[in-house]
Amino acid sequence: MELKRDDLVLEVEIGRGTFGKVFRGYGKNITSHNGEDFGECAVKTVPETANNAERLHFLIEASVMKQFNTAFIVKLYGVVSDGQPVLVVMELMDKGNLRDFLRSHRPGAEENKENRGIPCMEQYFTWAAQIADGMAYLESMKFCHRDLAARNCMVHADETVKIGDFGMARDIYYHEYYKPAGKRLMPVRWMAPESLKDGKFTMKSDVWSFGIVMYEMLTLGQQPYAGLGNDKVFNYICMSFVLNNLQNWNESDQCYDFEFSIDELDDQNNIYNDEFGYAHEDDDDVESASNDKEVYASEEDIPMMAPFNNNRRPNESSADAEGLLKDLNVTSTPRQQVNTEQNLMENTL
Strands 20-31 and 37-46: antiparallel
- Annotated binding residues: 44
Residue 330 neighbours by CB under 8 Å, 6+ apart: 136, 139, 203, 310, 312
Residue 175 neighbours by CB under 8 Å, 6+ apart: none
The DSSP secondary structure of 272-307, one letter per residue, reads: S-TTS-SPP--HHHHHHHHT-TTS---TTTS-SSEE
Whether 100 is catalytic: no
Q: Residue 73, Cβ neighbours under 10 Å: how many? A: 22
Report CA torsion sign: 36, 34, 4, 42: positive
d(CA 212, CA 321): 18
d(CA 139, CA 312): 8
DSSP, collapsed to helix, strand or coil, labels residue 107 as coil
Kindly name the residue from 6, 7, 147, 284 that is annotated as catalytic: 147
- Annotated binding residues for ATP: 44
Q: Which residues of 283-300 are buried (b: 16+ CB within 10 A; e: fewer)?
A: eebeeeeeeeeebbbebe
DSSP letter at 50 equals: -
d(CA 95, CA 113): 14
Positions marked active-site: 147
